[in-house]
Amino acid sequence: MNFKEFIQKSYLRPWDIVIILLLTISSFLPLVVFGIQNTAQDDATKQAVLKVDGEVIKVFELKEDGPTYTYKYEDSDGDYNLIEVSGDRIRMVESNCGDQICVKRGWISKAGETPIACLPHNLFITVEASDGSEDGSLIY
C-alpha cells in the first residue's frame, strides 16, 4: 500500500492535513516568542539586590567579565551569610542557618529567576535587569 492509497482509505481529508500541519507549526510559537524576549533581556544591565527584612543592604553589579569576589553579611545576632559574585552570576557559599537550602540553591544570573532565599535569616537575593532607558527602570 502506497501513500496515495493510505490517504484514500483513511478518514483524513485534505484540509485535515493542512489543519494538523498548521497546529503543529503554531505549537512552536511560544518558544520563538520567549526566545526573543530572553535575547532582549541579555542586553540589559543586571544587578543583584541583597535584602534583609525587606530593606536593601547591598547592590551587586553583575557584568559578564566582572571580577570574582565574596561578601560577608553579618547581623547583630551573629547570623552570617557568605555571598560569592563571579562575573554575571551570584550564589550563597556559606551560611550558619540550620537547613542550608540557600547554599544548595546554587548560582542565579537571570532577571526574574527564582531568588536565593535564606528564610531563617529573612535574607533574599534577587537579580534585576535595567534596560537603561531611564534611571531605575527595571524589567522583572
Q: Does 55 lie in the same domain as 30? A: no
| Residues with Cβ within 8 Å of residue 22, at least 6 apart in sequence | none
Q: How much is the pLDDT for 110? A: 85
Does some domain include residue 136?
Answer: no
Percentage of the residues of the chain whose pLDDT score is greater than 70: 88
Please give the single-letter amino acid code of residue 70.
T
All three cell numbers of 65, joined, read 567579565
Does some domain include residue 139?
Answer: no
Residue 21's domain comprises: 3-41
Q: Does 123 lie in the same domain as 62? A: yes
Q: How much is the pLDDT for 135? A: 46
Rounded CA separation 107/121 (Å) = 19
Tens digit of pLDDT for each residue in 38-63?
665 555 688 999 999 989 999 999 88
State the pTM of this model: 0.64
All three cell numbers of 51, joined, read 535584602
- Residue 14 confidence (pLDDT) above 80: no
